Structure 1
Amino acid sequence: MNTAAALTRAEIHALSDADRSCEDANRQLGQAGAHRDAADSGIFEESLRLKNTLDAYETQAKSKPSWEALAVLVNCEYRLYVLNQTTPLRNNPFLSHWVEAVQRLGTPSAQNDAKVHDSITSDEVNTVRMELIKALVQSRNPSQFARASPRQLHNNYVELRQTSLFNMRTYVRMLEEEGIYERTPEPDGDSPKSTASSPAKHSAGKLNEFQRWKLGMLSRLETEPEHAIPELTHLPIELSSLDFLTTLLQENTLQALNIEPAPVIADYIQHALRTMEQMGRGPGETGAAEAEAEVLLESGREAQTRAVKLLLLFMRNLIRKALLPLESIYFEIQEICVRYVWIREVRGLQSFCGRSWRGTR
């Protein structure tokens, strides 16, 4: 899975006009990306590309603020929200992105940008983007911005100072309850600007912990593979886990340790399929998947759908990059296509695999 992919130049160009409405810019974005393979353009994959573009342009806007950078940032945030608006906020995979962005963008920069005619400063770019995110997350109604342009939003939020309060604790608490952040003691008071947790610190802590786990796993794969491989095949269906598995294949790590990669990945996918089956069961229902006695952090149709989409991205990436022979996971592909045919991206996988299979004949 290419988790570093961003929008193409043509797509960025479609979003870079500060006088074009958000709705029109997103229409232009669709036309600019019309050449992309439909099977490779699922909601989650497009969302990741938008997120990576946001990160790149946020960095650019710090040193070279411009109306074009503002337009790209505003339109990417608008599109990211529109793509994921049907997912309940507490389960939204990009809630932490929005929470951390509001906290980060609300801190004035140390530099003082010289303000000249029709120019824009980095602090102004941050203010517009921050206020847009706050409005989207709190109102959950992106249609109010459909006909607004980035320049109009700048006028509202910067010139007219139409800013809003944002109770950070409400959304941090959601992330804590979902296990994204570690729980922290409640502070006194309930100020709209109070922050019960520090998202940046939590993210860094989790990253360091995962990095340590990866180093330990690599060591165990070398010294005690009989224990490490079962752990590897029972990783959760999370982006970090899938990215780690992909890296092992791309760097031929398993082959270097005399471990055949195909059975490992097939076992992981089978475990993921059992986990997803269990996710879809209602309270009190039992099934074969429960034999593993695994505690699920999430369950229900929405959680199941998110997990399926993540696994699809992983499997498509394996096939597209030829990291595994298609036939080595053929039965797993067939199973997911039969079980979850009601998910649009699954039907796209069928078409994608059909083309890939014909290309190998």
Structure 2
Amino acid sequence: MNTAATLTRAETHALSDADRTCEDANRQLGSARAHAPRDHNAADTGIFEESLRLKNTLDACEAQAKFKPSWEALALLVNCEYRLYVLNQTTPLRNNPFLSHWVEAVQRLGTPTAQRDAKTDGSILSDEISTVRVELIKALLQSRNPSQFARASPRQLHSNYVEMRQTSLFNIRSYVRMLEEEGIYERTPEPESDSPKSTASDTKLNEFQRWKLGMLSRLETEPEHAVAELTHLPLELSSLDFLTTLLQEHTLQGLNIEPAPVIADYIQHALRMMEQMGRGPGETGAAEPEVMLETGREAQTRAVKLLLLFMRSLIRKALLPLESIYFEIQEICIRYVWIREVRAFRAFVEEGHEEERDEG
């Protein structure tokens, strides 16, 4: 295998039309290979070998585009990045052999201040090419959904990212951490703090803030593991506030995570916890893995009331469709009908207003 090989001239030509969608460009690439002489046909090479040729082509084109920017260069860079991601998308990101390539591209190209206002001749600047490429990489890494670009052309992406300036926030540190954990990069030493010792409450708050930042990072980089953690959070006010914030700020939707199943699973988890809390000494059941700090009817009632506040907030603020948690509402209303607040909640759901009668 030639580790320095790049795409052939015919392959490069197939990927260099700025008005052709990424999907069409890939079809043209396949056609070019089908008509290539057998000795130059890359159709039968492995994924890694083709990926390496794409990366080498990207490196060469990037160097050329700095001094001779063109729409053809933009198209080639966009289509190569798109295909490189598609070829390797089934590999977990932390194990992806080209994660370092994408991280280093974002770091190297930075955030160019591409300005289009003064350009009227239809040409393209090297900074504009870098902007489109960086935003494409960021979107691919964060959404892990290349299909959103299948029917977009490089010129359309230029319009989105340069002319309309639809750029996105990006936490590159989370991806660097993956590379450190996999031994690709050396670990960055943690900075030492010279600040005075904090109180126990401050320490707990800081730990929770750090956990929230870590969770937001994991939702981007390891969504399956992060969602599993979200659905098993303890039934505490801080957890419920965090879940509410995720819904209000549309954080999950922005990461292509459907919020309704996440919240429904969390409520089911909370219901199982509450069932365990109500068991008397010596009773057994399908215990949750979390350690229960309190048991008994009084603790169970407090937990039910806390969950009701959360569910009522979801409904009042229209953060989720009511039908998405319909079965969870039915379960809590039937299982804990002996609690006054549950009966009031049921009236609120069914009639759309608070139950004002003081039920005994």
Larger RCO (CA under 8 A, 6+ residues apart):
1
Normalising to structure 1: TM-score of the pair? 0.50
Normalising to structure 2: TM-score of the pair? 0.50
